[in-house]
Structure formats: structure tokens, C-alpha cells
């Protein structure tokens, strides 16, 4: 092989290695469980370091360190407001990355299968509803969509016509749900225990209830209709097709 050919081959190899070294920075950033949990919360919307610390049970200092690692890898961005620093995902496809990791681990890690079977599916083993099926039923006006996340997450973004009853309030507010109508509950994602527990509670009380297959971040990533802000329950609101639909009783 001539010298120039050897030089080109070596340059190509070094370039590829350098490129994959940078890619490994992303892998290193997501190679820690606490950081994945932080990304999962940020997939619901922007939060301050203090709010994330409260949700995860980490100290503010530890939370800040993990977020800085994620920021250096380009997965989150930050802004300062007064004394507080707020973080959000840098790109919607971070949700896609988390989804790929989840699906791969479900298929190939026995420990994940054991955890999912023992903790989640013990609460609700029924097949969840695909988002396309839910969207069709929403357009027909034959389903009640229940968002069981905290109010601040609901306000940041939710499915059209979804009613927000956080899980901790569900039992005392069951009377607000119309009888004889299917209820589809959703929360933060496929592994979010809130929707599993909500569906279990609803079925115990005689409701026809199902889970959405994934959660709000995946719905939004699929470019399906979303709403923002708070709304009173059971009022006439715009349908997902632009007309008017009466929700609830």
C-alpha cells in the first residue's frame, strides 16, 4: 500500500475513533440510574434543581452534580431565574433514547423482567391501550382520559380533554368520573407506577379501566395533539378534530 493510502486509512480510523469517543460521552452520562430518573422527570417539563431533588430524594448538591453531567453531554439545558437554576431536556429525542433503552432492557435483562412482573404487572397485567387506538376513541367521544400526574405536570402539557386527578386524590374523587364509560389512565411513561395503581383502584370500584401503553412524553414525541394549562373538569371543550365535545356528565 502506498504511503498516501496508508495515511488516508489511518486518518479515517482516527476520525472514527474520535467520533465514537464523543458518542461515548452520552453513554457515560446515561450510565447512572439517578440521571435516568432525572431525565424521566424532565421529560414531563422544566423543573428547578430543588424541585428535582425533592422528587428524587437526592440532596440539592448531588442533584446539581448529576444535572451538570447531563448538561455536559448535551442532554439537558439550563436557565437561571433569580437564585434558582431550571433544567429541561435539550431535545425531544432524549425521550426516544430513554424508550430504546427501556425496550432493550425489557427484552434482554432478566432482572428488568422480574421487576416489571413483580411490581408493575402485579397491579395490572391487562394489555395496555396503544396511543392510536386511544386517539380514535377520543375522536369518537367514547372514553374518559385520566391524567394521574401532579397538577404542575398536567399544566405543562397533557392529552386533549384529559381530566387531571392525581393518584393520591383518586379514591375520594371517583364520583367525578362518569359511570358506564371506559377510563384510560396515563402518567409519565411505560414504567410509571401511577397509572398501574390508578387502574387497579378503578377496577376495584367497578370501572372499565385501561392503561395507555406509554405516557405523555411519548405521546408528545409522536406529534399527537396536546393541550397546556389548567382546565375545569367536565366542561364543553374543543375536540381533537377541532369541533366541540362535551366531556363527562
Residue 7 confidence (pLDDT): 63
Task: Kindly give the residue spans of alpha helices, DSSP state H, lying in the chain.
Answer: 3-29, 33-42, 49-56, 60-72, 93-108, 110-115, 131-140, 151-156, 193-204, 216-221
Report whether pLDDT(12) > 90: no
Domain co-membership, 116 together with 87: no
What count of residues does the chain have? 249
Domain co-membership, 132 together with 53: no
Report whether pLDDT(239) > 60: no
Residue 229 pLDDT class (50, 70, 90 cuts):
confident
- Indicate the number of domains in the chain: 2
The one catalytic residue among 29, 76, 143, 187: 187
Q: What's the mean pLDDT when you consider all of the chain? A: 90
Which segments of 119-192 are extended strands (E)? 143-147, 163-164, 182-186
Instruction: Render pLDDT for 210-222 as a digit per residue (tens, 0 to 9).
Output: 999 999 999 999 9
Through-space distance between the first and last CA atoms of the chain, rounded to whole angstroms: 80
Residue 230 confidence (pLDDT): 76
Q: Is residue 99 part of a domain?
A: no
Mean per-residue pLDDT, 97-103: 96
Residue 222 confidence (pLDDT): 95
Instruction: Render pLDDT for 113-137 as a digit per residue (tens, 0 to 9).
Output: 999 999 999 999 899 999 999 999 9
| Percentage above 70 pLDDT, the chain | 88
Instruction: Render pLDDT for 23-50 as a digit per residue (tens, 0 to 9).
Output: 999 999 999 999 999 999 999 999 999 9
- Pick from 101, 84, 87, 110: which is nearest to 38 by CA? 87
Q: Is residue 97 part of a domain?
A: no
Range of the domain at 215: 112-246
Q: Is residue 106 part of a domain?
A: no
Could you identify the residue written with the cell 376513541?
Answer: 137
Residue 1 confidence (pLDDT): 55
Distance between CA atoms of residues 47 and 81, nearest Å: 12
- Pick from 115, 99, 66: which is nearest to 218 by CA? 99
CA 98 to chain centre: 9
Phi, psi of 81 (to 5 degrees): -135, 105
| Percentage above 90 pLDDT, the chain | 82
- Annotated catalytic residue 187: yes
Q: Is residue 54 part of a domain?
A: yes
Domain boundary among 91, 122, 147: 91
Report whether pLDDT(4) > 90: no
Report whether pLDDT(234) > 60: no
Q: Is residue 21 part of a domain?
A: yes
Amino acid at each position: 500500500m502506498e504511503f498516501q493510502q496508508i495515511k488516508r486509512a489511518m486518518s479515517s480510523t482516527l476520525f472514527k475513533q474520535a467520533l465514537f469517543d464523543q458518542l461515548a460521552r452520552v453513554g457515560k452520562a446515561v450510565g447512572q440510574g439517578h440521571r435516568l430518573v432525572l431525565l424521566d422527570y424532565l421529560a414531563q417539563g422544566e423543573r428547578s434543581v430543588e424541585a428535582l431533588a425533592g422528587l428524587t430524594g437526592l440532596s440539592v448538591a448531588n442533584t446539581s452534580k448529576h444535572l451538570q453531567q447531563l448538561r455536559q453531554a448535551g442532554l439537558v439545558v439550563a436557565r437561571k431565574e433569580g437564585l434558582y437554576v431550571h433544567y429541561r431536556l435539550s431535545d425531544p429525542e432524549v425521550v426516544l433514547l430513554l424508550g430504546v433503552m427501556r425496550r432493550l432492557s425489557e427484552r434482554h435483562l432478566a432482572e428488568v423482567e422480574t421487576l416489571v412482573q413483580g411490581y408493575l404487572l402485579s397491579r395490572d397485567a391487562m394489555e395496555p391501550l396503544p396511543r392510536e387506538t386511544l386517539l380514535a376513541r377520543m375522536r369518537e367521544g367514547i372514553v374518559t382520559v385520566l391524567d394521574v400526574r401532579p397538577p404542575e405536570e398536567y399544566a405543562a402539557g397533557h392529552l386533549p380533554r384529559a381530566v387531571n386527578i392525581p393518584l393520591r386524590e383518586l379514591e375520594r374523587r371517583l364520583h367525578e368520573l362518569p359511570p358506564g364509560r371506559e377510563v384510560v389512565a396515563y402518567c409519565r411513561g411505560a414504567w410509571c407506577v401511577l397509572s398501574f395503581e390508578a387502574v387497579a383502584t378503578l377496577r376495584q370500584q367497578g370501572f372499565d379501566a385501561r392503561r395507555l401503553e406509554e405516557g405523555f412524553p411519548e405521546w408528545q414525541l409522536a406529534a399527537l395533539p396536546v393541550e397546556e394549562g389548567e382546565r375545569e373538569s367536565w366542561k364543553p371543550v374543543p375536540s381533537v378534530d377541532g369541533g366541540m365535545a362535551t366531556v363527562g356528565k
